[in-house]
A and B are shown apart, each in its own frame.
Chain A
Amino acid sequence: MADRELRWMRLDNAAKIYPAAKRRNWNNLFRLSATLRDPVDPLVLQSALDVTVRRFPSIAVRIRRGMFWYYLEELAQAPKIEREQSYPLAHRSFSELRRCAFRVLYYENRIAVEFFHALTDGNGGLVFLKTLTAEYITQKYGVSIANTDGVLDRSEEPDERELVDSFLQNEGPVSKSRREETAYLLPGTREWDGYLNLTTGILDVQEVLALAKRYQVSLTTLMVSVMMMSILAIQNRHVPNRRQQKPVKVLVPVNLRKFFDSSTLRNFVLYVTPGIDPKMGDYTLEEVLKSVHHQMGVELTQKQMSARITVNVRSEKSWALKIVPLFLKNVAMKLVYNMVGEKKSCIAFSNLGAAALPVEMQSYVDRLDFVLGAQAVCPNNCGALTYGDHLIINFTRSIEEPELEREFFTRLRRLGLSVTIESNQR
């Protein structure tokens, strides 16, 4: 094979924090998986991956160190696929990420891709997973699949618009930074060996939508509100003195592609953190729903997002920051991350929304999952998506006690929703 010029890319604006925030036993990872009708054939999957990576020069990459910044470098060839381990998102050391920043796993009927968050966000990752799965199905069953619904044409050259940092392109005229209160930190006993507990709740999406409609809120608002009610109950148990209670806040990532014209496959999300203050008294679900609904309504506008992009982009563009050597930047960014990074919310609720697949693929794919890795400090995390008739909510936790999961899912039960639970409990 002739040597080809390998592309390299700066980290996008949102990605810059991830390599700096790394810990000895923690990196910010997320995972997407597709469960197929039949067991996965590893040979075909490897071959499909070899084809697919060429189309994704911003995802099939490794992390490299420059003098002043980290950067991404395209891989010369696809990594070897691996068999799944007993738990998802097992820790990957930074030296592994410097060889390859994502991995493809298989187990029984399931293809999973685990990404280092500096490469892309859930939406970009989903395009990669869909395209990889489409290529696999094409090779395995000889089906021809239309390149729609986020499946990309593998025979095409990569589109430059997919590789741009959309943050830089959508800088607004004013910047708006926000000061946020420190949120309640959920308690629990750390798993001694780094085991990541995954608890999946499978709901009927029509039931959930009907309930959301009854309350006149969106599905995300409903779930975020139930999450807040659960965390409030937990805090009441652990911190009985109301005056010592901290705000309950949920971090909700926002896909900026919906607000700006962008087809990038790199990070392009911001987040909102709706919250309520338990010091003010007890809340009913209706009150929380109303509050979250309005908080999201105020924040989720193109102008608000643009102003917040501007803050982040301007700080990146500052010459004073630029010329600081990388190792010093790392120290400073790590300090900032430790001080504010995760303390501003109790948990994330990242909803990728309805994941559509081309019609030809649908009968081959039973289920899609979106799993967020645990954060460095906050013990719980939550990712969700809808595929077909199911809303699939994946809770991960780095602690032993499933307290939040139990609160959350039993609350959904009491709201009349049917919930099926699956887990990797040992």
Chain B
Amino acid sequence: MSYCVHCGVELADSEKKCPLCGTEVIDPRAGKKKDVLPPFPPHPVRTQQQVSRQSLVGLLTLIFLIPILLCVVCDASINHRIVWSGYVVGAFLQLYVTIAVPLLLSARPSRHNSVLSLSLDFLSLLLLLKYIEWETGGTWFWTFALPVTVLTAAIVIAINLIALRTELSRLAISAIAVICTGVFCLALELLLNFAFHLRSTIAWSSYPLITFLLLGAVMLYIDRNKPLKEKLIQKFFL
């Protein structure tokens, strides 16, 4: 015979805690209470089944295989060699890496998963670009595609690392991203000029460079000035 100190009701001997409020039954004078059969057999412990990452990736792989094989068979049977399906396969593989790698990595949580999967994404993108250059007989990979991709990767991964490693506010990180975009435009024009021998001076990229640099500076300024930031949030919150 115990009472719930919280609800005042008497509790049947089978109750280990109060069914109404969850308070545990503690009776210091009762000593070891002998076990009384509960009114129903115990519930088999069954936890909500998680879909395993591996099985999800397996399913994804099978689904991706369908268009890939179809394209290759179709292409090969019409042209008797691989003409266009290589691009399709490449694009699908790129997509597959983008989706499947984060899924597989999430089984083992680590704060560097995003860096790792981004690196793999860019690596597979480089391979795809190299394949396209080789297939089309171009000469732009080493002079243009590689530097642009590596630069993009460097910027994206760096911002990702800054976001992970530092305590900077979202606004400050966005400001850095905006400034990087400006610099990227400049680098892009330089690389274009160099790779395709367009001209020897900077033409269009100075406009986005100045715009993005100033925008980034404004954002950083707002970020530093707390009262201003508060005021702006107050006026423009969504």
Binding site for B on A (CB under 8 A): 83-88, 107-108, 192-193, 195, 198-202, 402, 405-406, 409-410, 413-414, 418-426
Contacts and interface: CB of A to CB of B under 8 A. Distances in A.
28 contacts: A83-B41, A84-B41, A85-B41, A86-B44, A88-B40, A107-B41, A195-B43, A198-B40, A199-B19, A199-B20, A402-B19, A402-B21, A406-B20, A406-B21, A409-B20, A410-B7, A410-B20, A420-B9, A420-B12, A421-B10, A421-B12, A421-B15, A421-B20, A422-B11, A422-B39, A423-B15, A425-B19, A426-B43
Nearest to A426: B43
Interface string B64-90: 000000000000000000000000000
Contact of B40 (A86, A199, A418): A86
Nearest to B17: A425
Contacts of A192: 48
A86 B41 contact: yes
Interface residues of B, number: 24
A425 B15 contact: yes
Given A85-B41, A405-B19, A410-B8, 17 more contacts: A83-B41, A88-B40, A107-B40, A198-B39, A199-B19, A202-B12, A402-B21, A410-B9, A421-B18, A421-B20, A422-B15, A422-B19, A422-B39, A423-B12, A423-B15, A423-B39, A424-B39
Interface of B: 4, 7-12, 14-15, 17-21, 37-44, 46, 48
B20 A420 contact: no
Contacts, number: 80
Contacts of A107: 40-41
Which 6 residue pairs of A and B lie closest in terms of their CB atoms, listed nearest first? A423-B19, A422-B12, A86-B43, A406-B20, A424-B40, A420-B10
Interface of B is mostly: loop
Contacts of A410: 7-9, 20
Contacts of A195: 43
B20 A193 contact: no
Contact of A193 (B37, B38, B46): B46
B46 A405 contact: no
